[in-house]
Amino acid sequence: MSKLLHISASPRGERSESLAIARTFVDEFREAHPEIEVSEFDLWDGTLPAFGPDAVAAKMAVFAGEEPVGDGWRNAVDTFRRFDDADLYLFSVPMWNHGVPYILKQFIDVVSQPGLVFGFDPAEGYTGLLRGKKAAVIYTSAVYGPERGPSFGTDFQAPYFGDWLRWAGVADVEEIHFRPNLATADAATGREAAHTQARDLAKRFA
């Protein structure tokens, strides 16, 4: 049976624009696809493990053809299995300092392991292993916007995260962008459009 996993990178709760759009998506998705299980992985809930020296050593052992050992590696594998158990993904990703929140980068570093998220051949390079999966990504930013000048920031958020998904093998990716200039503009119109897009996408996202 298909499963949808919502992975949240925002710690702002009810004040989060990305989470609000994600809730709209999930509510519409549940109504349109009641047969599909929906779960959430809040990256800030304390269950995301660190990826420190012992885990890095285990990862390098895999590259060397050795058996990886240690709690760091086991925790990484467990987190990957929680991630891989779904075939539909919803990511809510606010922009932090022109990029993604550090907790999302930590998630990427934890699950991106050889033999799990990617394969590697010395002659051919990387191969993404997350085949047959779909992702919807909600990108928000309060200052940056593509129509604004460089003094409003640069987008290292969507290009980076989208590239990681494709590198990992997720070729079917849909995006929702909500990028108001909250300091000077009324965000209501853009917010309404983003929520409408979320509802429309959720109906056909299965």
- 70 near 113, Cβ under 8 Å? no
User: What is the pLDDT, as a whole number, of residue 183?
Assistant: 63
For residue 144 the two structure tokens come to 């940056």
- Return the C-alpha torsion angle 138, 139, 140, 141, nearest 10: 180
- Angle, helices 188-204/17-32, rounded to nearest 10 degrees: 30
So what's the pLDDT on residue 186?
A: 76
Q: How far apart are the first and last CA of the chain?
A: 11
What pTM did the predictor assign? 0.95
Element housing 128 (H / E): strand 125-128
CA atoms lying within 13 Å on the CB side of residue 41:
24
Domain ranges across the chain: 3-204
| 130, 84 Cβ separation under 8 angstroms | yes
Query: What does the alpha-carbon distance between residue 141 and residue 200 come to, in Å, rounded to a whole number?
Result: 21
Regarding the domain delimited by 3-204, which CATH topology (the fold level of the hierarchy) does it fall under? Rossmann fold (3.40.50)
Q: Of 78, 69, 70, 76, give the one whose Cα is nearest residue 51.
A: 76
Per-residue pLDDT of the chain (206 residues; tens, 9 = 90+): 699 999 999 999 999 999 999 999 999 999 999 999 999 999 999 999 999 999 999 999 998 899 999 999 999 999 999 999 999 999 999 999 999 999 999 999 999 999 999 999 999 999 999 999 999 999 999 999 998 889 999 999 999 999 999 999 999 999 999 999 876 667 888 999 999 999 999 999 99
Whose CA is closest to 30, among 51, 72, 68, 2?
2
The pLDDT value recorded for residue 9 is 98
Tokens of 85: 């158990």
Residue 196: count of CB within 10 angstroms of its CB: 12
Spatial CA neighbour of 8 closest among 24, 19, 21: 19
Task: Give me the pLDDT at residue 125, please.
Answer: 96
